[in-house]
Amino acid sequence: MALALSGMLYAQEEEPHVFTVVTFEFVMPEDGSSAEFDSLSVLWSENVLKKNEFIVSEISMSHMWGDNSDDFVIITEFKSFADIEKSQNRNFELTQEAWPDKEERQTFWNAFIKYFGRHSDEIYQENTSVRN
């Protein structure tokens, strides 16, 4: 009986991780530059993403090969579906901390979002049957 119960306890697997995939149309505005975009991306990553305990990992990818050279994809990994909303709330808090002055925060956002056009959002679940 003890062996049977212990097997049941070990058979329970952890919840599969959840991923959001956001595909943006990357836009190079007339008053923009790759250097500015890179600098703003680093500020966002250092001040918000890396401090958000609900984000397991995040990767940003720009187009390399194929038909649409405007694609900019961001894949974010979470431990659970509930962590997506928690992460959004935490991002808001961390943004407030990083740019406490409302005008500075708005200046940052205006500079950053000018590089992004239309987008699509998807949520995926990890396929644990093929986990490495």
AA letter at 77: E
Residue 55: is it exposed, middle or buried by C-beta count within 10 angstroms (0-12/13-18/19+)? buried
pLDDT tens digits for range 54-90: 999 999 998 888 777 889 999 999 999 999 999 999 9
Cβ atoms 18, 68 nearer than 8 A: no
Cβ atoms 104, 85 nearer than 8 A: no
Strand order through the sheet with 116-125: 57-62, 71-78, 18-26, 116-125
Question: Is pTM beyond 0.85 here?
Answer: no
The set of residues, in sequence order, having a beta carbon less than 8 Å from that of 11 and lying 6+ positions away, is none
Q: Could you tell me the domains of the chain?
A: 14-124 (3.30.70.100)
Cα(64)–Cα(73) distance, integer angstroms? 11
Q: What is the pLDDT along the chain (132 residues), one digit of tens a residue?
A: 444 444 444 445 578 999 999 999 999 999 999 999 999 999 999 999 999 999 999 999 988 887 778 899 999 999 999 999 999 999 999 999 999 999 999 999 999 999 999 999 999 998 877 655
- Token pair of 53 as six digits: 């305990």
Cα(129)–Cα(131) distance, integer angstroms? 6
Other C-beta atoms lying within 10 Å of the C-beta of residue 76: 22
